[in-house]
Amino acid sequence: MESEMAMRLIVGLALTIGILAFAGRRLLFLVKLARSGKPVTGRLSDPTARVQAETVEVLGQRKLLKWTIPGIAHVFAFWGFLVLGATILEVYGALFNPEFAIPVVGRWSLLGFAEDLFGLLVLVGIAIFAILRLTNKPEVKGRYSRFFGSHTTGAWLILFMIFNVVWTLFLYRAAQYNVSLYTGNDNFPFMNGGAFVTEWVASWLYPLGETANEWLEHIGIWLQIAVVLLFLLIVLHSKHLHIGAAPINVFTSRRPNALGPLLPIMYDGKPLNFEDPPDDALFGKGHIAEFTWKGYVDFMSCTECGRCQSQCPAWNTEKPLSPKLMIMNLRDTMFAQSEYLLAAKGKHPGLGEFDEAALASLSPEVRAEVERPFIGSREGSDHAAEDGYTPDGHRSSHADLPIIDEEALWNCTMCGACVNQCPVDIEHIDHFIDMRRNQVLIATDFPAELNGLFKNLENKGNPWGMNASDRNAWISEVDFEVSVFGANGEETIPDEVDYLFWVGCAGAFEDRAKRTTKNVAELLNIAGVNFMVLGDGETCTGDPARRAGNEFLFQMQAAQNVEVLNEIKAKKIVVTCPHCLNSLKREYPQLGGNYEVVHHSELLADLVKAGRLTPVNKIEQTVTYHDPCYLGRHNKIYSPPRELVAASAENAVEMERSGDKSFCCGAGGARMWMEEKIGSRINQNRGDEAIATGAKRIAVACPFCSVMLNDAVTSRQQEPGRAIGVEVVDISTLLLSASKS
Amino acid sequence: MKIAVCVKQVPDTWAEKKLKDGSGILDRESVEGVMNELDEYAVEEALKITEADGGGEVVVVSMGPERAGEAVRKALSMGADSGIHLVDDGLVGSDSVATSYALAKVLDGRGFDLIIFGSESTDARMSVVPAMVAERLGLAQLTFANKVEVSGGNVTIDRVTDNGLETITAATPAIVSVVEKINEPRYPSFKGIMAAKKKPVETLSAGDAGLDASQVGIAAAWSLVDSFAARPPKAAGVIVQDEGNGGVAIADFLSAQKLI
């Protein structure tokens, strides 16, 4: 007995020390790699919110539970992982002392019950995962499997390892239980009951006899330790690294989320001054070595679950961009160039320059990889339509081609579906915008259509290149008074004015949006809301420039607007465009502009609630409401537009993809001004979904959604025999027609 | 290869323009000044030629008031190496003859292999300055190019004419004017904009350029504004409600206008 215990200890410790040495080396490498990223500030501010996020998203698994079945399976696995931590303590205890039990609670039946229950639930969890993988095979479902491009073999290995953890656990526990039964000792801590699975397994092993069970206990313990340690080693070398990386990533993520405002370009912890930028400032990311440590932790956290991919408007319309594949590609690049990153220690100068000393220390292969162009055309490469990936996650390298496909980079509509879905809080959009910034500000290599957009914004202050003097044209088309700032010599907005009505470029120049402007003005007029417009004092908020990567132009536009708005002492602003809303409300505080900004849906819904607007004549046609990304996901305004629909129409139906799962119209991320050359059209995909609900009115709350969906519906109406009689209307149009008898 | 590109600042092409009260002179204060769009193509072509050549120098030349310096900076931010800005109150009101005289004076003797112009300015739309400068400098003129090739001391262009394309070759130095089909002008990178702030711009007065004051300015102009009037507002169009007779109504309208 003595010698058997000694052997148990020696074998157990030898295994542990041997494997931990490898694991420790890898862990050190990963920590150093993450720390070699460029600095980023503010990732630890507001610790309360961070602890809360950790509680809700990690312990509470809230984002995973957005998808019920996979979410529950993950809850089982995750909580099983936490609870089974106790069994690992027990198994190591048993190495040294056969009678070991965790202090205080160690012999409570409840603990034994919890351990066995979660052991069982982990098995249920991995069974669900296995079924999900079998029914979602990328080889069968192609790009419409969320696992397309994920490393499925690695995923099966993980499931197999988890299975091994559980069965070895029950093997050793059952044998230990039996030995306690035979000898009457207290070695198994839960002889008073609770460990129901252990007891059931033990009943099968009992007939083997005492000696066999003694040996099964030793072997079970060794197997358990070996499996757990191997699992640790595999985790550290695979996409399953998220076990360690994700909690850190969630803790240091942007709070409340990485939606809404984009972050300014930072230098030395402060927003970059474009007037006089320091020589070593970076303008976006043009190389993997220019990403921050948060970026690296993002890449390490990706579990290849593909929830982002399943929601992505680009991927779902057969374009190369998948947020998952993009992050995987960045991660693989980070590892492929890790030697350089570790040698340069964050001193990579960027702007096409390298840390020469670090470069000189590399092998020729790694050096070639480091010096390879980062972003550019991968035309003609294998699997170009899937960003170079095969279904099972192999990317054709094409060492002569750039790493990031510019096509995929410009496919992004910045709709935020990926960020919203990501269970580990990866900040996809921030990375994409940083790469776009490099393409525009440094490389000047971007879609030619944006030339016109930038010129129009620079010269005319609006994307369409219209004359500022025409901003008030809509006023002559309404039959009530509209006050224009400055018309009576005002220098600041008079106190009796309730709202500054920020009309926006679309609202002033684009026909469909102009109708919305006139409707909102009329509704405000009916409700007795005193509003004023800026007229030709308005310019574009800069949203399209910013999302196209032209941060310099955005900063100029925004600074000009903030100066005007602060000078006239604007306080409350109403807008009809969710993009204006996002800039004015969420981004201008970065430049010292703080205003109370509401979307017309919010203001009108309030006016209806207050009885100042009374729909008397509900429209009979069924209505379906399309959530604009920048109203919904980015700014969490979901119910006011629905309240307006309910107030204006007899019947409303929801599309399957609605609320925070709404599908983009295709115009976000400055895509409004770019051509859509690859795959099917995003707006058609969404328009068809809306038409399929049977609704005759598609309600929108954004000028760009209005144009895009109207195009989609029109193209269907024009098909022979398809006079479907569907109209795309702004929610204000619905309310106005319902308000007139 | 040393290339000069002549650029002009013009009032924003698409803006609504006003005349100064009671005069035939454009109210420049009321409109944004931009680099003449066609000159952007000229700058782009010059940059492309030097880039393909693996070296060389692009000098931007502009004649115009103080704020025309913005157009020079714009060209520098696109990638030109240096600028020359001819600015003098005595030049105000110069017509195309005077402009060609002034530009020729500035360009002469600086050793340019190629002088590139946009084919016209979007404000005056005369298209004659490149030809006049060529005449004054005694250089070959290759105008309205939609393709330019430089090799071995020769420049060859495809010249756009009403009847098709002509291919013309001349020995350098020569003068080329380009049309908008020739290329896609680059958008200045932020790096370019920053670098442009530090690039040299030589500011010349009429005296510095050795101009004869009697040949420039409004007094020396060979062309005169005889009369002027604001453009009348657009007449309301005819709206035909299509009640099955739309085609006929359109045909009637067109034949009434003697268009068909």
SS3 sequence, A644-701? HHHHHECCEECCCCCHHHCCCCCCCCCHHHCCCCCCCCHHHHHHHHHHHCCCCEEEEC
Assess whether A203 and A294 both reside in one domain: no
Query: What's the CA gap between B187 and B190, in Å, rounded?
Result: 9
Q: What is the pLDDT along chain B (260 residues), one digit of tens a residue?
A: 999 999 999 988 777 777 777 777 777 777 888 899 999 999 999 999 999 988 899 999 999 999 999 999 999 999 999 999 999 999 988 999 999 999 999 999 999 999 999 999 988 888 999 999 999 999 999 999 999 999 989 999 999 999 999 999 999 999 999 999 999 899 998 889 989 999 999 999 999 999 999 999 988 888 888 888 777 877 777 777 777 788 888 888 889 888 88
The neighbour count for residue B153, using CB atoms within 10 Å, is 9
Query: What's the CA gap between A481 and A530, in Å, rounded?
Result: 11
Buried-state track A317-341, b at ≥16 Cβ within 10 A, e below 16: bebbbbbbbbbbbbbbbbebbbbbb
Assess whether A560 and A666 both reside in one domain: no
Residue A692 lies in a domain: yes
Residue B33 lies in a domain: yes
Domain end point (choices A567, A587, A609): A609
* CATH number for B99: 3.40.50.620
A681: Cβ–Cβ under 8 A, 6 or more apart, which residues?
A317, A666, A712
Residue A233 lies in a domain: yes
Assess whether A294 and A220 both reside in one domain: no
CA B190 to chain A, closest CA, distance in angstroms equals 5
Q: In chain B, how many domains are there?
A: 1
**Angle of the A196-205 helix axis to the A152-183 helix axis, nearest 10:** 70
Assess whether A403 and A479 both reside in one domain: no
| Residues on chain A touching B15 (C-beta within 8 angstroms) | 460, 467
In angstroms, the Cα distances linking A629 to A590, A599, A623, B149 are 21, 13, 19, 49
Q: Which of A444, A459, A467 sits opposite B186 (nearest CB)?
A: A444
Residue B243 lies in a domain: no
Residue B241 lies in a domain: no
Domain end point (choices A553, A583, A609): A609
Strands B140-151 and B114-118: unpaired
Q: In chain A, how many domains are there?
A: 4
Tell me which residue range forms the domain holding A592: 456-609
The answer to whether B186 contacts chain A (CB < 8 Å) is yes
Reference A622, options A588, A646, A649; nearest CA is A649
CA A444 to chain B, closest CA, distance in angstroms equals 5
Assess whether A177 and A222 both reside in one domain: yes
Residue B55 lies in a domain: yes
Phi, psi (degrees; rounded to nearest 5) at A266: -105, 150
Q: How far is CA B256 from the centre of its chain?
A: 40
CA B102 to chain A, closest CA, distance in angstroms equals 29
Tell me which residue range forms the domain holding B163: 2-229
Subunit contact B187:A441, Cβ cutoff 8 A: no
CA B15 to chain A, closest CA, distance in angstroms equals 6
Assess whether A135 and A81 both reside in one domain: yes
Reference B79, options B57, B95, B94, B64; nearest CA is B57
Assess whether A470 and A521 both reside in one domain: yes
The answer to whether A277 contacts chain B (CB < 8 Å) is yes
Reference A644, options A528, A732, A705; nearest CA is A732
Phi, psi (degrees; rounded to nearest 5) at A385: -70, -15
Subunit contact A460:B191, Cβ cutoff 8 A: no
Query: What's the CA gap between A368 and A531, in Å, rounded?
Result: 62
Subunit contact A552:B188, Cβ cutoff 8 A: no
Subunit contact A444:B16, Cβ cutoff 8 A: no
Mutation site, B189, B193, B197, B198, interface A, largest A CB count within 10 A: B189
- Both structure tokens of A264: 């300014």
Phi, psi (degrees; rounded to nearest 5) at A696: -100, -10
The answer to whether B17 contacts chain A (CB < 8 Å) is no
Q: How far is CA A21 from the centre of its chain?
A: 35
* DSSP, residue by residue, A186-214: --STTTTS--HHHHHHHHHHGGG-HHHHH
User: What is the chain B residue with the closest CA to A275?
Assistant: B194
The answer to whether B32 contacts chain A (CB < 8 Å) is yes
Subunit contact B189:A454, Cβ cutoff 8 A: no
> Does ipTM top 0.85?
no
DSSP single-letter state for residue B186: P
CB distance A665 to A713 below 8 Å = no
CA B6 to chain A, closest CA, distance in angstroms equals 21
CA B139 to chain A, closest CA, distance in angstroms equals 35
Q: What is the pLDDT at residue B170?
A: 97
Q: Which segments of A412-448 does DSSP mark as H helices, in order?
A: 417-421, 428-437
Subunit contact A442:B16, Cβ cutoff 8 A: no
Assess whether A288 and A187 both reside in one domain: no
Residue A496 lies in a domain: yes
Residue A270 lies in a domain: no
Q: What is the pLDDT at residue B228?
A: 82
Residue A682 lies in a domain: yes
Assess whether A653 and A735 both reside in one domain: yes
Assess whether A541 and A588 both reside in one domain: yes
- Both structure tokens of A68: 């019920």
Q: What is the pLDDT at residue A269?
A: 86
CA A448 to chain B, closest CA, distance in angstroms equals 8
| Residues on chain B touching A465 (C-beta within 8 angstroms) | 14
In angstroms, the Cα distances linking A52 to A57, A425, A426 are 8, 14, 17
Residue A340 lies in a domain: yes
Reference A312, options A427, A420, A394, A389; nearest CA is A420
Q: What is the pLDDT at residue A1?
A: 59
Q: What is the pLDDT at residue A627?
A: 98
The neighbour count for residue A148, using CB atoms within 10 Å, is 27
The answer to whether B113 contacts chain A (CB < 8 Å) is no
Size of interface A-B (CB pairs under 8 A): 42
User: What is the chain A residue with the closest CA to B184?
Assistant: A448
Assess whether A437 and A461 both reside in one domain: no
Domain end point (choices A446, A464, A482): A446
CA A262 to chain B, closest CA, distance in angstroms equals 19
| Residues on chain A touching B189 (C-beta within 8 angstroms) | 440-444
Residue B254 lies in a domain: no
Strands (E), A301-422: 375-376, 404-405
Residue B259 lies in a domain: no
Q: Which of A274, A442, A469 sits opposite B191 (nearest CB)?
A: A442
Q: What is the pLDDT at residue B164?
A: 93
Residue B253 lies in a domain: no
Residue B83 lies in a domain: yes
Q: Which segments of A477-595 does DSSP mark as H helices, in order?
A: 505-509, 511-526, 543-547, 551-567, 578-581
Assess whether A387 and A507 both reside in one domain: no
| Residues on chain A touching B193 (C-beta within 8 angstroms) | 552
CB distance A504 to A630 below 8 Å = no
Subunit contact A444:B15, Cβ cutoff 8 A: no
Residue A78 lies in a domain: yes
Mutation site, B43, B187, B197, interface A, largest A CB count within 10 A: B187
Query: What's the CA gap between A517 and A506, in Å, rounded?
Result: 9
Task: Kindly give the parts of chain A with pLDDT less than 50.
Answer: none
DSSP single-letter state for residue A441: I
Strands A270-271 and A266-267: antiparallel
